[in-house]
A and B are shown apart, each in its own frame.
Chain A
Amino acid sequence: MTSTLIQKVFRWARRKSLWVLHYNSGGCNGCDIEFLDLLTPRYDVERLGIRQESVPRHADILLCTGPVTRQSRDRVLQIFTQIPEPKWVVVVGSCGCSGGVFQGSDYVLGGVDQVIPVDLYIPGCPCRPEIIIEGLIKLLEKIE
C-alpha cells in the first residue's frame, strides 16, 4: 500500500520535472537552434517543468541532435553513462534518427541508436519546436 503510494509520488514528480541535457553529436546545428527555441518566450517549456541543464549528472534526458560521427561516438557513450538512472534518450532531427543526409558517409556511423538505446525519435529536417514539445509530452506519458 505505502510502497505503491510512494511509487505514485515519484512517478508524478518524474513526469513533472524533466531536466534536459542537449548534445550535438555531429549535426549541422539546424536542429540545435530549433531546440533552443523551446526556451524562448514563445514556447517556454519551463511551463511543463522542462529545464535545460549543462551537466550530465544533473540531467534526466539526453537530447541528441545529428548523426553520430566517428569523433563523437565515445563522447556520446561517456555522456550517456554519466547520466544517473532513470534516464531517457531523445533524438531530434532526421539525421539523428537514421543518418539522414549524411547516410553512407565514411565519417558517420549512422543514427544515434547505433551507439546508445533511444526512447523517442523526432524526425524532421530541422524539426519544428512544436513537434519537439509534442514528442517530449509523448515521452512524459511513457514515463513510469
Chain B
Amino acid sequence: MSFKVLVFPGFGFLFCLAMLAEWIDRRMIARFQGRVGPPVFQPLADFIKLLGKEDLLPTGVNEKLMAALPLISLAACLTAGMYIPVAGVSVNNFEGDLIVVLFLLSLPSLLYFLAGWSSIGIYSILGGNRALLQFFSYEVPFLLALSGPAILNSSWNITDIMVNQSTSIWAIFVLPVGFMLAFFGLIGKLKRDPLDIPKAQSEIVAGPLTEFSGRKLAIWHLANQIQTVVGIFLLVDTYFGGGVIESRLATFLLFSFLALLILVSLSVMSAMYARLRIDQLARLGWKRLIPLSLLQIAFIVWMGKGF
C-alpha cells in the first residue's frame, strides 16, 4: 500500500512527471516565442529554492488555514492521480471513480478561491472572485464533456471506459466536439494562458497566490503541475482509450505520444492566444459551450437508440 502511495502511481511518480511536464511546457512556449527556454532541471531548482525560502504571511490572516489550503490542494490532485490508469496499467479502480476524480480535480479551484479570500489583500480577493466566476464557466462543460465517453461506454469506471474503447472505437472519433470542450475545460481548470484570468499578471499581479511565499508557494505550484499531468492522463484515458493496444511496449509508446500531444497543444494555446476578459469567458461558457455539451449528450442518447 505504501508503495502505491509513495512511488507508483503516487507521489514519486507524479512528482517526476509534473517536473518533466513543466519543463516541456516552458521549453515549448519559449521555442514558440523564438527563445531558448530553461534547462531541464529548472522546475526542480525552482521547487527546492522555494522550499528554502522564508515563509512570510500578512498580519491578521488565519495561519492554519493558509498552511492547510495548499496541502489539501496537493492531496486532492495526488488522490485523483491514484485512480487514473497510466499506459493501460490501472492500480485502483471502482465503479464511479470518474465522478470521484472529477470532484477531486475541481477541489483545487475552490481552494484557490478560498486562498484568495483568506489572504486579505485586494489583489487576492479580486483574483479569488474571478477564480470562482471562471470555475462556473468552464466546469459545467468539462463535466458534461467527460460524461460523454462514460455514457457511450455505459460505465462510470475510467478503466472500463478505457478497456471498452480498445475493443470498439476511440471516443474522439465519435465525439470530436466533446474532446474540444474537455480540452477547453482543462485549460480553464489549470488556469493556463488564454484563461489565466484569476492570476492575470498584468492586471492583478498574481491573483490569490499574491500573499503566499516560500514553502506554501512551492506546494501550490506543485499541485498545479500534478493537476496538469492528471488532467492530461484523464483526457487520454477517456477520449483515446488510454492508447491501449496488444503489446505492453506499444501501449506505453502510444500513451506517451498522446499525452505529449495534448501537453504540446496546451503550450500552443498559451503561446498563441491572448487572455480573455472574464465577461467574455462567462458569455462563451454559458451561451455556447454549455448548450453545445448538452447537444452532445442528446446526440449520444439518440445514437444509443439508433443502434
Task: Report yes or no: B30 in contact with A46, Cβ–Cβ below 8 A.
Answer: yes
Task: Report yes or no: A41 in contact with B34, Cβ–Cβ below 8 A.
Answer: yes
| B52 close to chain A: CB less than 8 A | yes
22 A-B pairs within 8 Å (CB atoms) are namely A13-B52, A14-B49, A40-B35, A41-B33, A41-B34, A44-B30, A44-B35, A44-B37, A46-B26, A46-B30, A46-B36, A46-B37, A47-B37, A47-B39, A49-B42, A49-B46, A54-B201, A57-B210, A58-B217, A84-B213, A84-B214, A86-B52
Contact of B45 among A16, A47, A53 (CB under 8 A): A16
Range class of the A interface residue count: 20 to 34
Considering the chains assembled together, what is the distance between the CA atoms of A54 and B44 in angstroms?
21
Contact of A55 among B45, B49, B206 (CB under 8 A): B206
Interface hits, A8-43 → B, CB 8 Å: 9-10, 12-14, 16-17, 40-41
Query: Which 4 A-B residue pairings sit nearest by Cβ, starting from the closest?
Result: A13-B48, A84-B54, A16-B45, A41-B34
**A82 → chain B closest CB, angstroms:** 7
- A interface residues with partner B (beta carbon < 8 Å): 9-10, 12-14, 16-17, 40-41, 44, 46-47, 49, 53-55, 57-58, 60, 82, 84-86
Q: Which residues of B contact A10 (CB under 8 A)?
A: 48-49, 52
In this complex, the member of A17, A44, A84, A85 whose beta carbon has the largest number of chain B beta carbons within 10 angstroms is: A17
Range class of the B interface residue count: 20 to 34
Considering the chains assembled together, what is the distance between the CA atoms of A141 and B46 in angstroms?
17
**A78 → chain B closest CB, angstroms:** 12
A58-B206, A58-B213, A85-B54 given; name 8 further pairs at CB < 8 Å.
Answer: A16-B45, A44-B37, A46-B37, A47-B39, A54-B205, A55-B206, A82-B56, A85-B53
Task: Report yes or no: A16 in contact with B33, Cβ–Cβ below 8 A.
Answer: no
Interface hits, B24-73 → A, CB 8 Å: 26, 30, 33-39, 41-42, 44-49, 52-56
**B51 → chain A closest CB, angstroms:** 8
**B117 → chain A closest CB, angstroms:** 17
Q: Which residues of A contact B205 (CB under 8 A)?
A: 54-55
Task: Report yes or no: B52 in contact with A46, Cβ–Cβ below 8 A.
Answer: no
Task: Report yes or no: A44 in contact with B36, Cβ–Cβ below 8 A.
Answer: yes
Q: Which residues of B contact A54 (CB under 8 A)?
A: 201, 205-206
Contact of B53 among A16, A49, A55, A86 (CB under 8 A): A86
| B179 close to chain A: CB less than 8 A | no
| B212 close to chain A: CB less than 8 A | yes
Task: Report yes or no: B53 in contact with A84, Cβ–Cβ below 8 A.
Answer: yes
Q: Which residues of B contact A41 (CB under 8 A)?
A: 33-35
Q: Which residues of B contact A49 (CB under 8 A)?
A: 38-39, 42, 45-46
**A11 → chain B closest CB, angstroms:** 9
Specify the chain B residue showing the minimal Cβ separation from A86.
B53
**B48 → chain A closest CB, angstroms:** 4
Q: Which residues of A contact B36 (CB under 8 A)?
A: 44, 46-47
**B22 → chain A closest CB, angstroms:** 12
Task: Report yes or no: A55 in contact with B30, Cβ–Cβ below 8 A.
Answer: no
Specify the chain A residue showing the minimal Cβ separation from B54.
A84
Contact of B56 among A9, A14, A53, A57 (CB under 8 A): A57
Q: Which residues of A contact B38 (CB under 8 A)?
A: 46-47, 49
Task: Report yes or no: A17 in contact with B49, Cβ–Cβ below 8 A.
Answer: yes
**B218 → chain A closest CB, angstroms:** 11
**B207 → chain A closest CB, angstroms:** 10
Interface hits, B223-257 → A, CB 8 Å: none
Considering the chains assembled together, what is the distance between the CA atoms of A89 and B267 in angstroms?
33
Q: Which residues of A contact B42 (CB under 8 A)?
A: 16-17, 49
Interface hits, B186-237 → A, CB 8 Å: 201, 205-206, 209-214, 217
Considering the chains assembled together, what is the distance between the CA atoms of A10 and B49 in angstroms?
6
Q: Which residues of B contact A60 (CB under 8 A)?
A: 49, 53
Task: Report yes or no: A84 in contact with B48, Cβ–Cβ below 8 A.
Answer: no
**A50 → chain B closest CB, angstroms:** 9
Considering the chains assembled together, what is the distance between the CA atoms of A10 and B53 in angstroms?
10
**A6 → chain B closest CB, angstroms:** 9
